[in-house]
Amino acid sequence: MAELHLNGVRKVYAGGVEAIRGVDLEAEDGEFVVIVGPSGCGKSTLLRMVAGLERTSEGEIRIGERVVNDLEPAQRDIAMVFQNYALYPHMSVFRNMAYGLNNQGRPKEEILERVQRAARMLQLEGLLERKPRQLSGGQRQRVAMGRALVRDPKVFLFDEPLSNLDAKLRVQMRVEIKALQRGLGTTAMYVTHDQVEAMTLADRLVVMNGGVAEQIGRPLDIYQRPATRFVAGFIGSPSMNFLTAAVAADGRSLELPGELRVPLSARAGPTAGRQVTVGVRPEHLHLSPGSGPRLTLSVGLIELLGAETVVYGHPAGHEEAVTLRVQGVPEVTEGQDLELGLDPAHVHLFDARTGRSLSHPDDGGAV
């Protein structure tokens, strides 16, 4: 068990492409770090650099007290679960799990004992003599976990381990992974593009985009106080609504098309006349407007999900589509005009040019 430190880590490929553009990250002992981001953001590359499968061009990676930059993957005291599991197809479950220990030259009894313990934890005891192709997707996933477990590593690395499972199994395994990691108290680094996985698993969440960590923090903090427009749009489903606006001449309110005015809190003080992006989450629009600012929405599509309803529409005078999420089944029909209330306390402001948050300027990661 150990902490994990990334210090100014960069990855530049031979062709000059910069995949990771300087990432600083600290994970405490036993912490579950999730890296989330769209495909191509560099999250897998970062994980593979920690694993030692990609060379680190610059910066320092430290596991516990050791700098591991120049160590072979096997020497780093890590274990990895791959997206497609990478179980050796010709070996039995037992041999798959034992292979790494065999290569370390551990005594037979120890290997047997360790594999059996891991198998017990993962309910694989009856399957040890099977070949991977005789297993279901969920069982393969468990074997891949077991292979990581028997090594008793300092850090677990997960590369989108649940993306090959069907939706139901994914939820189940997600819970199991979290429980297992808690029980063992081993530091974990987990890469995913699924924000539900990210939100539920993470002690510490890293949102990556374009080779940069846009924001690092606790999941709920990131949800409530996104540091950039990208983070705000990426985390949360359905996505946050964005509307362009300008700061009124008095600097105290926002002017949106359609005669809409939203008062500004004194805290964020953008200069008058400045172009900003207004962000509002779908659940922060209300069907019963109070005295505050209102938005008129011409209703388009309605998705009835039972517990909640998602309404899509266009606000009068705006280019952008707006999504609204309400509990239960509201009485709304397509084509109707809806009056929506907007709670100024839940409005996020972003610089229209840089995308940086104006509401929470002091939050954020290593941008």
Partner 1 sequence: MVENRRWLNLLTHAVLLLGLAVVALPLWMTFVASTLGPGELINPPIPLLPGSHLLANYGEALSSGMARAGGVPVGTMLFNSLVMALGIAVGKIAISVISAYAIVYFRFPFRMTVFWLIFVTLMLPVEVRIVPTFQVVSSLGMLNSYAGLTIPLIASATATFLFRQFFLTVPDEYLEAARIDGAGPIRFFRDILLPLSRTNMAALFVILFIYGWNQYLWPLIVTTDEHLYTIVMGIKGMVTVSDEEPNWPIVMATSMLAMLPPVAVVIAMQRLFVKGLVDTEK
| Footprint of partner 1 (CB under 8 A) | 48, 51-53, 72-74, 78-80, 82-86, 88-91, 99-100, 103-104, 147
Residue 169 near residue 23, CB atoms below 8 Å: no
Of residues 50 and 297, the one with the C-beta less far from partner 1? 50
Q: What are phi and psi of 57, to 5 degrees?
A: -75, -35
Strand order of the sheet with strand 260-263? 260-263, 253-256, 241-247, 275-280, 348-351
Nearer to partner 1, 76 or 348 (CB): 76
Instruction: Report CA-CA distances (Å) from 323 to 29, 37, 137, 154, 331.
Output: 40, 22, 36, 44, 16
Q: Are 132 and 140 in contact (CB under 8 A)?
A: yes
User: Please, what is the minimum distance in Å from the beta carbon of residue 295 to partner 1?
Assistant: 49
Phi, psi (rounded to 5 degrees) for 3: -85, 165
The smaller minimum CB distance to partner 1, of residues 85 and 242, is found at 85
What is the closest distance, in whole angstroms, from the C-beta atom of residue 85 to partner 1 in the complex?
8
Tell me which residue of 332, 335, 311 sits closest to 322, measured CA to CA: 311
Dihedral angle sign, alpha carbons of residues 184, 189, 192, 194: positive
Q: Which is nearer to partner 1, 2 or 295 (CB)?
A: 2
Residue 160 or 214 having the CB closest to partner 1: 160
Decide whether 72 or 166 has the Cβ nearer to partner 1: 72
Whichever of 83 and 298 has its CB closer to partner 1, that residue is 83
- Write down the least CB distance from residue 105 to partner 1, Å: 9
In the complex, what is the shortest distance from the CB of residue 150 to partner 1, in angstroms, rounded to a whole number? 10
**In the complex, what is the shortest distance from the CB of residue 14 to partner 1, in angstroms, rounded to a whole number?**
11
Output the smallest distance, CB 200 to partner 1, in A: 26
Give the nearest distance from C-beta 175 to partner 1 in angstroms. Answer: 25
Identity at 116, one-letter amino acid code: Q
Give the number of C-alpha atoms closer than 13 A to the C-alpha of residue 66, restricted to the C-beta side.
15
Cα–Cα dist 115/32, whole Å: 24
Handedness of CA 75, 77, 83, 84 (dihedral sign): positive
Q: How far apart are CA 228 and CA 207, in angstroms?
A: 10
